[in-house]
Amino acid sequence: MTAIAVGIHSVTKRFDEVVAVDDVDLEISDGEFFSLLGPSGCGKTTTLRMVAGLEFPTEGRIDIFGEAMGLKPPNHRPVNTVFQSYALFPHMTVAENVGFGLAMRKVPATEITERVHDAIDLVRLTGMADRRPKQLSGGQQQRVALARALVNRPKVLLLDEPLGALDLKLRQAMQLELKDIQKEVGITFVYVTHDQEEALTMSDRIGVMNEGKLLQVGRSEEIYERPANRFVADFIGETNFLSGRVEESGVVRLAGGQLVRAVTHDPVGTEVTLTLRPEKIHLYLRAGDVAPGMNTLTGTVHRRLYYGDSLYYEIDFGFAHVDARVENAPRQQRFEPGHEVIAAFSAQSAEALAE
């Protein structure tokens, strides 16, 4: 049983009439890499800021390692933040920026020098200690922000879209590096992002938020394979939606009348939406090629899109259109628009979500 690093209990935050965070309950374990994921304005940053002490909950309670934070200001909380804009002090050198927190806590000068040096090494900025933030690239500034927070050995590190301002290649490199650093220092990371890929690759667990509500919490695979509702299914990755009704447990009758086996959670008769990922759909020309036990639907190829590493086929089932993704592998069968195809998918890959 690991300790709870951050406990968010029935927290609501209102700005005037706007509900930014709506009754959120969440426990983040010690040492966990936890991501809060959602579109802009979903309340994820406000949640993070409440943990940091930069905002205070209108209702509810936030605990850090069991200690109620109440109205404690940020300088009395055992957390540090990496801000989206980095918020480096422009009038200080890299070393002065990194050493700021230690200086404020009256750590002896010799220890500050040593720890600042180590932190600068950790983020691979050796030799840049005397530069000003302006003389650094975006990626380097981001590392300074990280070092400036980590050097204080916070119990929890809060990161607010730290890679948002970087270009794609740098962002991907920093994702791996952040994950490595987190393993190395072993502290809890709470990471806010709107980039679902970033969340899926880096996190131990993800909390998906929308309109102030925490919709689902789980590991990457759970969030992707077993979305709790339509928003989560739609926001994370790409998906197809097929409407239908629960015929019996594990069986759904689609709007076109076909019966398919799916993962159901609702009683018989419930109107549901099947979510079906494009890469889970396999296409065949002949029914005999389909593996036994798979759901099959017959349709026509409406359109074919070439993506390089894959091809997308838009299949028309009459009652719905569905996208199927096929790897651009050697000897992979190609399907021509206008041709009739059989779309096959397993019961496990179709999740029935209540409306």
Partner 1 sequence: MTTRRAAARSLPGGRRPLVQRVLALNAWAVYAFFYLPIFILMFFSFNAGRFVTIWEGFSLDWYRVMFANEPLMKALRTSVVVAIVSTIVATVLGTAAALALERYRRWLGKRTFDALLYLPVIIPDVTMAVMLLIFFATVDLNRGLNTIILSHVAFNISFVSIVVRARIAQMDATLEEAAADLYASRWQAFRRVTLPLIMPGVLGGALLAFTLSLDDVVITQFVQGPGTSTLPVFVFGLIKRQVTPEINAVSTLMLVASMVLVFGSLLLQRRR
Please, what is the minimum distance in Å from the beta carbon of residue 174 to partner 1? 20
Residue 74, interface with partner 1 (CB under 8 A)? Answer: yes
CA distances from 283 to 46, 179, 226, 255, 289 (A): 44, 37, 23, 21, 10
> Which window, 5-13, 17-25, 82-90, 315-323, contacts partner 1 (CB under 8 A)?
82-90
How far, in Å, CA of 329 to CA of 327, rounded?
5
Taking CB under 8 A as the criterion, the residue among 87, 165, 170, 185 binding partner 1 is 87
Please, what is the minimum distance in Å from the beta carbon of residue 143 to partner 1? 15
Residue 334 neighbours by CB distance under 10 Å: 12
Using the minimum distance from each CB to partner 1, give the nearer residue, 74 or 139: 74
Site for partner 1 in 127-156 (CB under 8 A): 148-149, 152
How far, in Å, CA of 265 to CA of 262, rounded?
10
Residue 47, interface with partner 1 (CB under 8 A)? Answer: no
What tokens appear for 315 in the block? 């299949």
What tokens appear for 45 in the block? 């940053």
How far, in Å, CA of 206 to CA of 203, rounded?
6
- Residue found under tokens 């009256």: 106
Using the minimum distance from each CB to partner 1, give the nearer residue, 17 or 336: 17
How far, in Å, CA of 266 to CA of 352, rounded?
8
Residue 348, interface with partner 1 (CB under 8 A)? Answer: no
Identity of the residue numbered 235: F
Environment class of 128 (CB within 10 Å of its CB; exposed 0-12, middle 13-18, buried 19+): middle
Taking CB under 8 A as the criterion, the residue among 25, 59, 67, 85 binding partner 1 is 85
Using the minimum distance from each CB to partner 1, give the nearer residue, 89 or 307: 89
Residue 52, interface with partner 1 (CB under 8 A)? Answer: yes
Taking CB under 8 A as the criterion, the residue among 83, 241, 284, 312 binding partner 1 is 83
Residue 71, interface with partner 1 (CB under 8 A)? Answer: no
Using the minimum distance from each CB to partner 1, give the nearer residue, 149 or 252: 149
> Which window, 1-9, 70-78, 108-116, 240-248, contacts partner 1 (CB under 8 A)?
70-78
Please, what is the minimum distance in Å from the beta carbon of residue 172 to partner 1? 26
Is residue 42 within 8 Å of residue 211, measured between CB atoms? yes
Is residue 13 within 8 Å of residue 57, measured between CB atoms? yes
Using the minimum distance from each CB to partner 1, give the nearer residue, 97 or 220: 97
Identity of the residue numbered 243: S
Taking CB under 8 A as the criterion, the residue among 35, 47, 80, 275 binding partner 1 is 80
Using the minimum distance from each CB to partner 1, give the nearer residue, 1 or 71: 71
Is residue 135 within 8 Å of residue 146, measured between CB atoms? no
Residue ranges binding partner 1 (CB under 8 A): 52-54, 73-75, 79-81, 83, 85, 87-91, 100-101, 104-105, 148-149, 152
